[in-house]
């Protein structure tokens, strides 16, 4: 039924008033109803932050009136009691195999405390990534054993499936559910392999890798590393095979499937991240998890209200929930505490998970230790002056949107990059984890962040940019998810460049031709000059004769 037919049936003959009514109805009522699509968000439960992010995508679609199914097979059991989606009603769980649960636990039980004093090395990251691969293969095996459930899912005829790009299990699932349109997404800034598949330039000369410590200004050695790291990882990582769940169980070629994605969603925000060339297919929805209005409307309870009123300024110190303050080396705790004494006019709220604080902070009046802190409500409070943070992506987004100056001390994973990305906006200062025992350095950073107004101005400026982004991340997500549901695959967004050879793409053949032409011209010029030079003395002699 077309819009017009529908309204004539509803309104009968049209008057001016009815025409206005019609417009109103179109705007407020008709669109959400007609264009309600059927989405499947596939998110195996292996990591808290990953699931939080995909649950947010699901809820955003649900809140816009779409029919969303959140399919979240369990891998790490301790997360399965957590309610990730809020408004999405159809949630499907699936029991893990023993093997799958074991992989999940190996990952979960990994000891992160060493990152207080060490960096992660290649020899450590490779086994971790291998484990991921094995886990997703096993997840695919478990799905293959539950075809009854998948048959039910196929009946629902989903328009679009959204999933995390490196969860390769999604591809046999897409194949079995016969879903043609899909949107691989990343919960990090970007996935270098996915970019290659869809034909987006990765630009290693100025865009640091998602887990790198570099900024957009790299030395030559850093550029070498930034360029060769992804191929090296790909070389060492075994690429597992995925086969269709349906006989004859054909092999699935994942990179060529990836190139058929309608869009990709990446968790990066162009107003915070480094500027880079992208293609239309890449929709940057970084910031969807931040609901600024909700954050700003939060109020701290009486207890925290009193703490915020204690002194002129207040600083929140938190290293997140993966790396705990209590596991920090004692000399770092001592250095932090004795620096805090030097700021008697400042209350420090320190998220600290144990009762042993007397060993380094006995008798210090202006530190308030707490095992839990209402982080976002505190950040939203105007009495909070600054945030001392580990630079997790969630915290980075919150300080950016709420416009607070920060001292960032990244510990591991993507935090190194997040920290540098934020510092670039001039509202924050980075100190490395190796400087956490350096009182002078800590004091210096705190003094600047608290008393140099330029940091506050810059961070408020960034918050203003984010609040007034021309198109909000939520809107980007919705409009593109709907466009994909309506039009399916979008070959017009598929750049031919991805079929080109290395030599063609980087114009090496063209550069060679230009170089040879230049050489040839130079050679010819040289020869001509030489010839002239041989004749020149005679010319000069002739000239003399004339005189």
Give least dist CB 149 to ligand NAG, A: 13
Give least dist CB 37 to ligand NAG, A: 9
Write phi, then psi, for 184 (nearest 5 degrees). Answer: -70, 145
By the rule CB under 6 A, 489 interacts with ligand NAG: no
| Continuous segment of H or E residues that includes residue 318 | strand 313-318
Q: β-strand 38-42 against 181-186: which pairing, if any?
A: unpaired
Write phi, then psi, for 166 (nearest 5 degrees). Answer: -90, 0
DSSP string spanning 487-527? H---GGG--GGGGS-HHHHTTHHHHHHHHHHHHHHHHHHHH
Residues contacting 54, CB < 8 A, separation 6+: 41, 43, 70, 84, 162, 163, 164, 185, 187
Q: Is 157 left (phi over 0), alpha (psi -120 to 50) or beta?
A: left
Q: What is the contact mask toward ligand NAG in residues 355 to 384, using x (rule: CB under 6 A)?
A: ------------------------------
By the rule CB under 6 A, 426 interacts with ligand NAG: yes
Cβ-closest residue to ligand NAG? 67
Q: Which residue number, 278 or 428, has a Cβ lying nearer to ligand NAG?
A: 428
Give least dist CB 485 to ligand NAG, A: 12
Residue 18: exposure state from Cβ atoms within 10 A (0-12, 13-18, ≥19): middle
How many residues belong to the site for ligand NAG (CB under 6 A)? 7
Q: Which residue number, 52 or 426, has a Cβ lying nearer to ligand NAG?
A: 426
CB-CB contact of 516 with 524 (8 Å): no
Q: Which residue number, 153 or 416, has a Cβ lying nearer to ligand NAG?
A: 153
- Please identify which residue in 18, 49, 67, 222 interacts with ligand NAG, judged by CB under 6 A: 67
Give least dist CB 459 to ligand NAG, A: 10
Q: What is the contact mask toward ligand NAG in residues 130 to 159, using x (rule: CB under 6 A)?
A: --------------------------x---
* Positions 275 through 294 that interact with ligand NAG (CB under 6 A): none
By the rule CB under 6 A, 400 interacts with ligand NAG: no
Give least dist CB 6 to ligand NAG, A: 17
Q: Which residue number, 39 or 319, has a Cβ lying nearer to ligand NAG?
A: 39
- Report the distance separating Cα 67 and Cα 88, nearest Å: 8
Q: Is 269 left (phi over 0), alpha (psi -120 to 50) or beta?
A: beta
- Report the distance separating Cα 93 and Cα 80, nearest Å: 9
- Short-list 414, 412, 419, 431, CA closest to 323: 412
Q: Which residue number, 90 or 141, has a Cβ lying nearer to ligand NAG?
A: 90
Give least dist CB 143 to ligand NAG, A: 18
Under DSSP, the state recorded for 344 is T
By the rule CB under 6 A, 269 interacts with ligand NAG: no
Q: How far is CA 131 from CA 104, 202, 387, in A?
A: 9, 26, 35
- Report the distance separating Cα 257 and Cα 169, nearest Å: 13
Under DSSP, the state recorded for 95 is P
Q: What is the contact mask toward ligand NAG in residues 156 to 185, using x (rule: CB under 6 A)?
A: x-----------------------------
Give least dist CB 155 to ligand NAG, A: 9
- Please identify which residue in 48, 90, 141, 498 interacts with ligand NAG, judged by CB under 6 A: 90
Write phi, then psi, for 406 (nearest 5 degrees). Answer: -140, 150
- Please identify which residue in 69, 262, 289, 445 interacts with ligand NAG, judged by CB under 6 A: 69
Q: Which residue number, 62 or 325, has a Cβ lying nearer to ligand NAG?
A: 62
Give least dist CB 248 to ligand NAG, A: 30
Residues that bind ligand NAG (CB under 6 A): 38, 67, 69, 90, 156, 425-426
């Amino acid at each position: 039924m077309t819009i017009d037919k529908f309204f004539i049936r509803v309104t009968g003959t049209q008057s001016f008033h009815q025409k206005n009514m019609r417009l109103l109805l179109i705007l407020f009522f008709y669109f959400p109803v007609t264009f309600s699509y059927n989405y499947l968000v596939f998110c195996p439960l292996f990591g808290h932050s990953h699931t939080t992010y995909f649950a947010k995508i699901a809820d955003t679609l649900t809140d816009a009136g779409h029919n969303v199914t959140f399919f979240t097979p369990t891998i790490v059991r301790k997360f399965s009691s957590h309610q990730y989606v809020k408004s999405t009603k159809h949630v499907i769980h699936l029991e893990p195999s023993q093997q799958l649960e074991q992989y999940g636990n190996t990952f979960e039980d990994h000891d992160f405390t060493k990152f207080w004093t060490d960096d992660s090395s290649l020899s450590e990251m490779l086994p971790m990534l291998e484990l991921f691969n094995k886990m997703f293969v096993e997840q695919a095996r478990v799905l293959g054993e539950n075809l009854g459930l998948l048959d039910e899912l196929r009946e629902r005829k989903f328009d679009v499936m959204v999933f995390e790009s490196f969860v390769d299990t999604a591809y046999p699932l897409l194949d079995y559910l016969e879903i043609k349109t899909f949107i691989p997404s990343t919960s990090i800034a970007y996935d270098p392999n996915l970019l290659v598949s869809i034909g987006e330039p990765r630009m290693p000369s100025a865009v640091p890798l998602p887990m790198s410590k570099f900024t957009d200004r790299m030395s030559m050695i850093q550029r070498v590393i930034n360029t060769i790291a992804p191929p090296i990882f790909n070389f060492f990582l075994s690429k597992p095979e995925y086969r269709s769940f349906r006989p004859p169980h054909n092999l699935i070629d994942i990179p060529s499937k990836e190139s058929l994605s309608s869009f990709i969603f990446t968790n990066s925000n162009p107003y915070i991240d480094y500027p880079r060339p992208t293609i239309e297919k890449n929709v940057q929805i970084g910031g969807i998890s931040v609901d600024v209005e909700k954050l700003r409307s939060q109020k701290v309870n009486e207890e925290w209200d009193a703490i915020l009123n204690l002194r002129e300024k207040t600083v929140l110190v938190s290293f997140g929930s993966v790396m705990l303050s209590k596991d920090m080396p004692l000399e770092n705790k001592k250095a932090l505490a004795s620096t805090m004494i030097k700021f008697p006019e400042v209350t420090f709220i320190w998220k600290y998970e144990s009762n042993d604080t007397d060993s380094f902070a006995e008798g210090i009046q202006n530190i308030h230790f707490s095992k839990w802190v209402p982080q976002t409500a505190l950040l939203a409070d105007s009495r909070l002056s600054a945030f001392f943070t580990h630079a997790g992506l969630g915290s980075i987004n919150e300080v950016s949107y709420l416009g607070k100056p920060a001292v960032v001390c990244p510990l591991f994973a993507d935090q190194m990059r997040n920290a540098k990305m934020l510092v670039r906006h001039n509202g924050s200062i980075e100190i490395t984890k190796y400087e956490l025992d350096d009182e002078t350095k800590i004091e210096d950073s705190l003094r600047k962040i608290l008393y140099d107004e330029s940091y506050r101005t810059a961070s408020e400026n960034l918050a203003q940019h984010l609040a007034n982004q021309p198109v909000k991340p939520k809107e980007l997500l919705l409009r593109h998810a709907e466009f994909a549901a309506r039009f399916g695959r979008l070959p017009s967004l598929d750049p031919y460049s991805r079929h080109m050879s290395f030599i063609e793409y980087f114009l090496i053949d063209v550069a060679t031709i230009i170089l040879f032409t230049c050489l040839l011209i130079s050679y010819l010029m040289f020869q001509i000059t030489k010839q002239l030079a041989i004749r020149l003395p005679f010319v000069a002699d002739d000239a003399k004769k004339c005189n």
